[in-house]
Structure formats: C-alpha cells, structure tokens
Amino acid sequence: MAASTLLAKEMPGQIQVGYEGTQYGIYQSGRGGEFTLLPTNPEGWLDLSGYVTGTTSDIGLEGTFQTFCLEGKEIIYPYGDTSNGYIYDAVINANAVEGGVGPIGDPLSKGTSWLYSQFAKGELDGYNYGAGRANSAVALQNAIWWLEGEGPDGNAVAYDVNNTFMKAVAGVYGEDGAKEDADPNEWGVWALNLTFNSQLRQDVLYYCPPSGDTPGVPDGGLTIFLLGLGLSSMAGLSRKFQK
C-alpha cells in the first residue's frame, strides 16, 4: 500500500452536528447523510472555500457544510444530544480509522474522493441540489458505503446498477478501480475523524481545493505532518457515522 499523508493538529478542532431546530440538518435522510456540520472552536479552523454557499455550505446556518458518513457501525448523534455528544473533537486524516478495519486505518477510495469532490463543488451530475434532494442523498450515501466496503450495521452495501452514482464512478474507474486507494492531494477529499470524550464517533468527508500540499488549516504551530501508515497510535480516533 502506498504511503499516505496524515494531517493532524496538536489540539483538534471541533465540529457541531446540526443546529437549533434540526437534528442532523434539513437534508439528512435514512441511516446516513446529508449531514450539516459546523466547525467550531476555534471558529473557522476548516477551510470551506471549496464548497458552494447555499448549495453545499451555509445551509440553514452560516459557516456550515454538507457531508456524508464513511463508517457503517459508528454513530453520529443529533444536535442537542448532550448525553452522547453532538460537538466532537475532529482531526483531518487521509484515512478513515477504526470502524471495520481497526486502528491501522483505511485510505479513502478513488471513487469516494471523486464523487464527494464533485458534490462539494455543486457539480455532481445527477444530484438534485434542490429542496427535494433526499433521494439523491440516500443514493450518494449508498455509493460511498459501497466504495468503502461499509454499510448500515456493518453490512456492506452491494453494487446497484440502478444507483446513478455507482454507475457513474464505475464508468470512470471500473468497479474495482473505483475502490483503489486515493491520493487526497489529487481530489482534495479527506476524512474527519470524530471523537467525544475520547470515545469513537463517526468519520465524515471533508473537501478542500487541492493544492498538492495539505488542507487549509490555520497555521501558527498547531499543525503537523505525519507520513506513512503509522496510524495505530490514533486508535482513539473515529470513523464513519450513522444515524
């Protein structure tokens, strides 16, 4: 497996799920995304310049962005759930960790990276970005789970010829090629590993316009780069989320 790049912070940023008057955001449907997330503490710690205001960001609340889960077994809890947490510590990573593969982690696939980058930019062909977008959200979530070998309750989603996004990505890379490991610097798609009081939560997707370097996290000595596959030290980090 090719070496992957891990970007972490000395202190993680934080992510809030949903906002007042919603649970996960107004477009969440079924067992997965779309989820509306708000980066907090410190404010603006994530670069959201690659998202489209009113389409994939700033929906319902300024400063939010839309995303999907990676893990089938791990959980994300709704806004206001103080018992289980709805504000999570978050670090940017090239890999989803724990979940179905354990602490060594699992690089995002080419297909997931391609699909989510197109989604974030508001350019995903066949995606209904209008008010009735729940069906598109379910279909894209299932495509991501298929590409990552995941699914609700740990049962991997199978390829569905009627799924627009599975067909699209298979047409570009082939069914097997779409599942190959991605270089996050090529598509700008990363995993956000979420935890609550050191307990695993979900991993979610994050898009930052690729520059051949790393995601836009504020400088000032808070960011470090770790090369290779030594992710076992990050066993406390989380992976994909599920309602």
pLDDT in tens, 49-88: 999 999 999 999 999 999 999 988 888 999 999 999 999 9
- What is the mean pLDDT of the segment spanning 166-173? 97
Mean predicted lDDT score pLDDT of the chain: 82
Domain containing 15: what range?
Answer: 5-234
Model confidence at 212, in pLDDT bands (50, 70, 90)?
low
For the full predicted model, state whether its pTM sits above 0.85. no
205 vs 7: which has the higher pLDDT: 205
In a domain, 88, yes or no: yes
Three-state secondary structure call for residue 225: strand
In a domain, 242, yes or no: no
Model confidence at 103, in pLDDT bands (50, 70, 90)?
low
Summarised one tens digit per residue, pLDDT across range 5-43 is: 334 434 579 999 999 999 999 999 888 989 999 999 998
| Nearest Cα to Cα of residue 134 among 71, 76, 66 | 66
In a domain, 243, yes or no: no
pLDDT at 63: 97
Could you give the CA distance from residue 75 to residue 178 in angstroms, rounded to a whole number?
26
Is 50 exceeded by the pLDDT of residue 222?
Answer: no
pLDDT at 98: 66
Which residues are registered as beta bridge partners of 66?
36
- What is the mean pLDDT of the segment spanning 93-105? 69
Q: Indicate the number of domains in the chain.
A: 1
- What is the mean pLDDT of the segment spanning 175-186? 95
Residue with tokens 């989603």: 157
Which two three-digit tokens encode residue 122?
Answer: 């508001």
In a domain, 10, yes or no: yes
Residue with tokens 């990676």: 70
In a domain, 143, yes or no: yes
In a domain, 142, yes or no: yes
In a domain, 239, yes or no: no
**CB under 8 Å to 97, separation ≥6 — which residues?**
103, 104, 105, 106, 191, 193, 203, 231, 234, 235, 237, 238, 239
In a domain, 95, yes or no: yes
